[in-house]
Structure 1
């Protein structure tokens, strides 16, 4: 079945990984540790969550780098020895709402989107960012004309890799089938979303948080999203 839609993750796929997300992650872990972790367990908590305080960075392949909010909550609960899910959700939402994005398009991305539109694809965004953050991206990059549908992640909404995250698109395009959709993303959660949803194609890129060995379940791995254009155009032309 021919592909009709390409869904792009945003941070680390359409744009260079937004370092403001790392600042949010570190601040959330700092606040969690201060509130729930005893002094003798502080080092263990930072190591478990993947935050290097000396370098002030989140380490690749760790819960804070590529875990969903539900996975982060599970880690927080285990470290705290109690249910801190409500605190985590509220804190995460507050920090995201007050985040100042750092937006820089992946080199060649605008030309790639243009080529895909000319090939006849519908293009969407599937992001863990909020509607506000996604609108800031579209405005800053002047790319609104390329995108036919945007799925952002608001409070209490389904998140990747839960297949229900795609429900808004299926409601928007009632006759669309999962096999007609491709996902392009930089994290294991992007690829797992494609698998869980039975999508027609998954493409991993190495411009974000995911390491190559974590993305091996993708159908294809490219250095960056623009490098996948020829493949996608060929797929569109398949009979």
Structure 2
């Protein structure tokens, strides 16, 4: 069963053609890595999948819902209910604790459940950092807060844009262990990365160039 279907999607900004007739499907529970040079359209595609942008042409279905038929409010609701976002830049509120930053995601669902937020932070190994401010956390710990925040509303798809890009090797391994565990639990993961070793954790690596998919690699550990 495909949780994501992208058919003939193009994205233009004036005369700039960022995505060109993109075709891609992702199965429920699959881990897909997206690689390619800067400017090849990777982040633009993530923004469209994450309902933060819309294609100029083509069709995208998320969980069977055709996004081109949705207005801005409906796209926001779909993103809130279906997508968990993890960014390279952590986007944590500096004056809120780790727990409060995670609970902020609940606010948009009109939910206030501190126990669930604590459980999400425990899942990423931060049960002893609940009341620390972002400035009191390492880069890897801040990224784990972001992952906990992305998980709090049980998203169907986790989208990660260079989640290890700002981390040292030790913290990169910690974050990748979290993603491996999430994948084993059945989460669908779509991850942009420049790191070949990170991409090799995914089931497929989709190679981008000039707004097109030029190659799809089935990674050896899944072949």
Same topology, TM > 0.5? no
Normalising by structure 1, report the TM-score: 0.29
Greater Rg by CA? 1
More strand by share: 2
Normalising by structure 2, report the TM-score: 0.31
